[in-house]
A and B are shown apart, each in its own frame.
Chain A
Amino acid sequence: DARVTQTPRHKVTEMGQEVTMRCQPILGHNTVFWYRQTMMQGLELLAYFRNRAPLDDSGMPKDRFSAEMPDATLATLKIQPSEPRDSAVYFCASGLVPDGRGSNQPQHFGDGTRLSIL
């Protein structure tokens, strides 16, 4: 079964440190999403890419977060410097949008990175 792969699965670090989370989307999918999940805020969309181009990152704090897709098989989400309020589960999801517009296709989620900032 094809699946989205995220690394690391868990990360504990001290505030001020740089955190990098990686995602390998399902081969052939052209859309990648980054979500953050917390008890208080639920599932929040941080950013998404189509054909490796960033389409929307309005949900992402710009001063410390950055998202990139160096190639079609890798998406990264970086936090620098990290803060305790960044503690959450970060999910990557991928999907296929055949016609380049809003699609009816489902999103396939990875297992997430559980991030704790002390």
Chain B
Amino acid sequence: GQQVMQIPQYQHVQEGEDFTTYCNSSTTLSNIQWYKQRPGGHPVFLIQLVKSGEVKKQKRLTFQFGEAKKNSSLHITATQTTDVGTYFCAGRGNTGKLIFGQGTTLQVKP
């Protein structure tokens, strides 16, 4: 069945450093969504990518969707302590179901 893999599982950075998490699907995706979950909280929708090669930005966050629509990345420039949390990608394949990756947990040292 469809699988969505995310790496790394954990990342510790110093405040001000950049951070990237990568998402790979075993099948072509119709779209991909990104969510953020703060410690003790619930996943919150960040953004959705639909087109091949699409790049979207939200302030210091840059989201990319691969040309083959099988991978995606989230890059945070100059991390801040407020960026702490777990970032999930979720891909929708041909079954229509949204499959979540395992998430990347980001820790930021002040």
Chain A contact residues, CB within 8 Å of chain B = 35, 42-43, 45, 56, 91, 93, 101-102, 104, 106-112
Contact = CB atoms under 8 A, between A and B. Distances in A.
19 contacts: A42-B100, A42-B102, A43-B43, A45-B97, A45-B99, A45-B100, A56-B97, A91-B42, A102-B92, A102-B95, A102-B97, A104-B31, A104-B92, A106-B33, A106-B45, A107-B98, A108-B45, A109-B44, A110-B42
B80 interface: no
Contacts of B100: 35, 42-43, 45
A75 to B, nearest CB: 16
Contacts, number: 42
Nearest to A6: B42
Nearest to B96: A102
Given A45-B97, A109-B44, 17 more contacts: A35-B100, A42-B100, A42-B101, A43-B103, A45-B100, A56-B97, A102-B95, A102-B97, A104-B31, A106-B33, A106-B45, A106-B48, A107-B98, A108-B45, A109-B43, A111-B41, A111-B42
